[in-house]
Amino acid sequence: MLHKVAEGVLVHESEFIQSNSVVVQGRKGVLLIDPGITAGEMASLADDLGRVGQPVVAGFSTHPDWDHVLWHANFGDAPRYGAARCAASIQDLLSNADWKDRIAEGLPAEYTDEIPMELLGLITGLPAGAAQIPWDGPIIRIIEHQAHAPGHAALLIEERASWSPVTCFLTS
């Protein structure tokens, strides 16, 4: 279920590990940030967006941990972005023949079959130093830092910069 946290910004909290998927409304659809954990949660999120007529027009992964680079077919073929180092890091993992086993080692056994791996990590790295997400919506500034993972990015919605929680819930 989506919860409005600010004008044009909605959040879905995963039941699995209580991480947030963030939806930012644009002119022709939404930017989906760190889109979810289980296949069921992501399908539900896609259904919620469909019911309100908001197609996913772009995605963004804040960092290369497996739970932030997932995707679901119901979100469509929208471009998916991340910082250059984020994309390079996940592509490095995916280049290993045993990448699925490596990820599965960190999952609770009861969730292994619920994590969709088919579209994991298929993100395009934005040029190093990219200042904003390329999409048709509010300007969202990328603030890359290395606090948690290579290429980790906090996002700042410039139109909403007067309220401080933005960077908190968009850094995951």
Mean pLDDT of all residues in the chain? 87
Q: How far is CA 123 from CA 14, 64, 77, 148, 152, in A?
A: 21, 10, 11, 19, 14
Identify the band that residue 49 occupies on the pLDDT scale cut at 50, 70 and 90. very high
Distance CA 123, CA 28 (A): 21
Q: Residue 166's pLDDT is what?
A: 42
pLDDT above 70: residue 27: yes
Q: Residue 172's pLDDT is what?
A: 46
Per-residue model confidence as pLDDT tens digits over 113-171: 888 889 999 999 999 888 999 999 999 999 988 777 888 899 999 876 554 444 444 44
Distance CA 37, CA 162 (A): 30
Residue 57 lies in domain: 3-169
Identify the band that residue 104 occupies on the pLDDT scale cut at 50, 70 and 90. confident
Query: Residue 145 is part of a domain; what is its CATH number?
Result: 3.60.15.10
Identify the band that residue 34 occupies on the pLDDT scale cut at 50, 70 and 90. very high
Nearest to 76 by CA among 18, 32, 13: 32
Mean pLDDT of the region 58-79: 94
Global pTM value: 0.89
Q: Residue 98's pLDDT is what?
A: 95
In sequence order, what are the residues at sequence separation of 6 or more whose Cβ sits closer than 8 angstroms to the Cβ of residue 4?
10
Q: Residue 32's pLDDT is what?
A: 96
Look at the chain and report how many structural domains it folds into. Answer: 1
Q: Residue 160's pLDDT is what?
A: 64
Distance CA 86, CA 142 (A): 13
